[in-house]
Amino acid sequence: MEEPIGIVGAGITGLATAYVLSPKYSITIVARELPGDLGTNWASPWAGAVFHPQSKATKMQQEMQKRSFKFYWNLAHQDPSSGVKIYPMTEYFDDRNNDSDIWYKTLMPDYRIIAKSELPEGVSMGVKYTALAMSPLLLLPWLKKKLEERGVKFVRKEVKSLDEVQKITSAKIIVNASGVGAKELASDDAVHPVRGQTMFVKTDLNELFMREGSEYTYIIPRVGSGGVIMGGIKSDRLDAEVDVELKSDILRRVNHMTKGAFDGLDLESVVDLVGFRPGRTTGLRVEKEGDVVHAYGAEGAGYIYSFGVAAKVKELIEAGVLRAKL
């Protein structure tokens, strides 16, 4: 009989963990929101969901990102209905002059440095490579369907403790992928929501753009939607009200990065999106604590880490099982 494992949280981290564990274990996911739900109480449907490697990462975090990239790369080739698609990426920096510390230059296909003469004003360096973007509104339901086909059970319930999850799932081992909910469930005061505001814009632009350094700006195509997501912003505000002035600022930054690709855009015609990333001041947490494996705190990089985090969770579970048998 397969050992039961309970997972709290049905965002990208919880779903990815269930996907990795389900061939070997009996999985039950307990969550307040499930794939297909909208609303601002969870982050996964609203994420930019682009595979843009995180430059500030430990060796272990780099390995997680590599594993995740391999999964999505294969999925983009094998099943387009998943909402994962390959795009060309242009990445700009204004806080570095060379790529000596860009670890992912050996990971991302077609990587090359952009000539200085081609850079927008104020940009000190740029690179191009082939990357991936995911449409959460396609990928999350796709994962849920695949998991249900594997026998994974979904229980819609808001829980107040991890003990409650153990009782619901009859599982000794619990994976805590609760995102912002970990503040309460794991008594972790480092956890906090990080507000994001973006715009969906109809366009035939079919490539990725990212700028980092003194500003954080991006353009991410949405598979099958005929448009892109424009951002970005990180804020400690806790309200979901659209900041009208911020819309103009995002558009200004996007136009500067793309040399005016969206000049004349009517901001009244865009769709405004506000969501809350699961932040953690001390960073990503993937560790075992008794019979609980914690997997949260990726903030805006949940999709980038997801399947790598899932693989690490599996390693931690099986290392604990092995020790118990010795």
Long-range contacts of 282-290 (CB under 8 A, 24+ apart): 282/190, 284/61, 284/309, 285/182, 285/188, 286/64, 286/312, 286/313, 286/316, 287/316, 288/316, 288/317, 288/319, 288/320
For 3, residues 6+ apart whose C-beta sits below 8 A from its C-beta are 25, 26, 171, 172, 173
CB atoms within 10 A of CB 40: 15
| pLDDT bucket at 326, cuts 50 / 70 / 90 | very low
Q: How far is CA 70 from the centre of its chain?
A: 15
pLDDT of residue 324 exceeding 50, the answer is no
Q: How far is CA 317 from the centre of its chain?
A: 23
The CA distance from 195 to 274, in Å, is 7
Position 106, amino acid? T
Number of domains in the chain: 1
Question: What are the DSSP E strand ranges found in 213-298?
Answer: 217-222, 227-231, 271-280, 285-289, 292-296
Q: Check which CATH number belongs to the domain holding 137 and give it.
A: 3.40.50.720
**Is 159 labelled a binding residue?**
yes
Closest CA to 309 of 286, 326, 290, 291: 286
| Amino acid 1: pLDDT | 60
**Is 218 labelled a binding residue?**
yes
% of the chain beyond a pLDDT of 90:
88
The answer to whether the bond into 151 is cis (omega within 30° of 0) is: no
**Is 277 labelled a binding residue?**
yes
| Amino acid 322: pLDDT | 45
**Is 244 labelled a binding residue?**
no
The CA distance from 288 to 71, in Å, is 24
pLDDT tens digits, 71-118: 999 999 999 999 999 999 999 999 999 999 999 999 999 999 999 999
pLDDT tens digits, 251-293: 999 999 999 999 999 999 999 999 889 999 999 999 999 999 9
pLDDT of residue 65 exceeding 70, the answer is yes
What is the residue-averaged pLDDT of the chain? 94
Which whole number is the average pLDDT over 197-206? 95
Token pair for residue 269?
């015609």
- pTM attached to this predicted model: 0.94
Task: Please say whether the beta carbons of 88 and 51 come within 8 A.
Answer: no
Which whole number is the average pLDDT over 164-193? 97
Closest CA to 289 of 173, 140, 163: 173
Give residue 302's domain range: 4-325
Stronger pLDDT, 156 or 239, i.e. the higher one:
156
Residue 292 CA: distances (Å) to CA of 25, 43, 177, 266: 15, 22, 10, 49
